[in-house]
Structure 1
Amino acid sequence: MKAKVDQDLCISCGACIDTCPEVFDWNDDDKAYATVDEVPEGVEDQAREAADSCPTEAIKVE
């Protein structure tokens, strides 16, 4: 499973980082990004929850 954050849609709310810090963090532009190529086993549900809770639908998890 992969996670990706659309930088044009991210509003830097931090909800994804709060929900799944194992996958998301801040980049140099103060926007969220996925820190891993593959979502680690055991945090897939949190990554999906982060995507579902994103207010701008900037996160895609596949």
Structure 2
Amino acid sequence: MCICLYAQQHRTRCIERKIMSTHGKTPTLRVIVDRGRCCGYGLCAQLCPEVYKLDENGLVYVESELIPGGLEEEAREGAAACPAEALVIEAIQS
């Protein structure tokens, strides 16, 4: 396994644990980001900056695909506001 891939997986697991501990609720939704569709309007990040981040080019990214418990509505609003439809919210399959 590439060191870079391992570091990314480790960072993602750490962020997911932090999400669950700081918000106190188990995530029930996840977001799928299609950066190829993102046009950089930034509406998602304006509506839900806890979930959606913008890179140096103004394109959306997320630190974790899991949506923290308690932020479901804001995350849905951010995804719905995307004119490029680059964000999809779906339930986590248990």
Q: Scaled by the length of structure 2, what TM-score is found?
A: 0.61
Matched residues in 2 for 1:42 and 1:26: separation?
Answer: 21
Note the C-alpha offset of 1:30.
3.1
Q: How many residues align?
A: 62
Out of 23, 36, 43, the position equivalent to 2:71 is 43
Write 1 or 2 for the structure with the bigger share of helix: 2
TM-score by length of 1: 0.88
- Segments of 4+ moved more than 2 angstroms: 27-30
CA distance in 2, matches of 1:5, 1:27: 13
Higher-Rg structure is: 2
Distance in 2 between residues matched to 1:50 and 1:35, nearest whole Å: 15
Gaps of 5+ in 1: none
**Could you tell me whether the CA contact under 8 Å between 2:52 and 2:62 is conserved in 1?**
yes
Unmatched tracts of structure 2, length 5 or more: 1-28
- Alignment identity in percent? 35
Q: Counterparts of 1:19-58 in structure 2 under 5 Å?
A: 19-58=47-86
C-alpha contact 1:23 1:39 (8 A) present in aligned 2: yes
**Highest RCO, 1 vs 2 (Cα 8 Å, sep ≥ 6):** 1
Conservation of the 8 A alpha-carbon contact between 1:16 and 1:54: yes
Distance in structure 1 (CA, Å) of the matches to 2:57 and 2:81:
21
